Amino acid sequence: MQNSSFNHCNLPPWVIASRHFNDNPQPIEIQGVRAANRFFFDKLDSIASHEERACVFNDYMSVKFQLHQWQEQGTATARKSLKNSYLRFLRGWMMDSNSPEGAVLKGWVESRIGLSPTFHHQRIGGIHEEEYLRYAVDRTKGSARTSAINSQLDLLYEYCQYELARKYQDRKHLILYRGTFERSEHDVLETLSKREEIVRLNNLNSFTTDEERAWEFGFIVWEVKIPLSKIFFYSELLPNSILKGEGECLVIGGEYRVKRLLCTV
């Protein structure tokens, strides 16, 4: 994975991407987001119910980015730009992570975290390769469909981190599962044992909290210890989430120790 020399968070890309970070995770903070929205996060501190906090988040996003005013816009382009909020991109990822919406989410990781994608439709060998250009075109198409999408995703990530910190006060990791049909999507960096490897994952990946569900997505299933700070989104975060019930988590990539599970069926 070619990491950018700069990003928009408190840690350099090479640190976040490393296997050592996963063993000893630290908070990842998108620069300026908490400070610019401090009154919103102060409000969340006063609310005990997760469901109520999620409603406050939805309302705050709607007002801050004028998402509720899409019908009042004078042109079809302007209406579409506001109507296609961050929820559109989460939905697009769920349908196809190689869609333009998926490219936008990968682009957010590249811009904010500094990790370039290694797969979009096909393997991406580097930022100067033709495969990277195809990803960049999809990212541009997707970004044109909405307003201030990276800023929306900044706030979504910080809200996700806020909720994870409240939900798992004494933990730094979750055990998650990923099913895949294609080992070639990932670089194997080191073989640790017959069933354990160090692999380099794409800059954004789908995992699930449910081991059984992971088998629906491939005949290879990995068990992985994921730092909370590298979870960009999880399905129970928002009320009436389009991903609710899937147990899905979107995880920022890098080098991970993975354990291949055996099918017991």
**pLDDT at 217 exceeding the cut of 90:** no
Could you tell me if 67 and 85 are in contact, meaning their C-beta atoms sit under 8 angstroms apart?
A: yes
* DSSP reduced 3-state for 54: helix
In angstroms, the CA 38 to CA 45 distance is 11
**Distances, alpha carbon 179 to alpha carbons 159, 206, 208, in Å:** 27, 9, 9
User: In this predicted structure, which of 16-20, 35-39, 88-92 has the lowest mean pLDDT?
Assistant: 88-92
In angstroms, the CA 119 to CA 121 distance is 6
**pLDDT at 131 exceeding the cut of 90:** yes
Pairing of β 196-208 and β 220-227: unpaired
Q: Which residues lie below 8 Å from residue 108, measured CB to CB, with a gap of 6+?
A: 149, 150, 153, 154
Could you tell me if 96 and 245 are in contact, meaning their C-beta atoms sit under 8 angstroms apart?
A: no
Q: For residue 114, name the pLDDT band (cuts at 50, 70, 90).
A: very high
In angstroms, the CA 191 to CA 199 distance is 9
Read off the pLDDT of each residue in 240-246 and give the average, rounded to a whole number. 60
In angstroms, the CA 79 to CA 41 distance is 29
> What pLDDT does 225 receive?
98
For residue range 55-109, list pLDDT tens digits in order.
999 999 998 988 865 444 444 444 444 456 899 899 999 999 999 999 999 999 9
In angstroms, the CA 180 to CA 50 distance is 32
Could you tell me if 118 and 124 are in contact, meaning their C-beta atoms sit under 8 angstroms apart?
A: yes
User: In this predicted structure, which of 65-74, 105-114, 178-187 has the lowest mean pLDDT?
Assistant: 65-74
What is the pTM for the complete model shown? Answer: 0.91
Mean of the per-residue pLDDT values of the chain: 89
Q: Which residues lie below 8 Å from residue 40, measured CB to CB, with a gap of 6+?
A: 56, 60
Query: Where are the domains positioned within the chain?
Result: 13-167, 173-260
> What pLDDT does 74 receive?
42
Q: Between 3 and 74, where is the model more confident?
A: 3
Q: Between 145 and 197, where is the model more confident?
A: 197
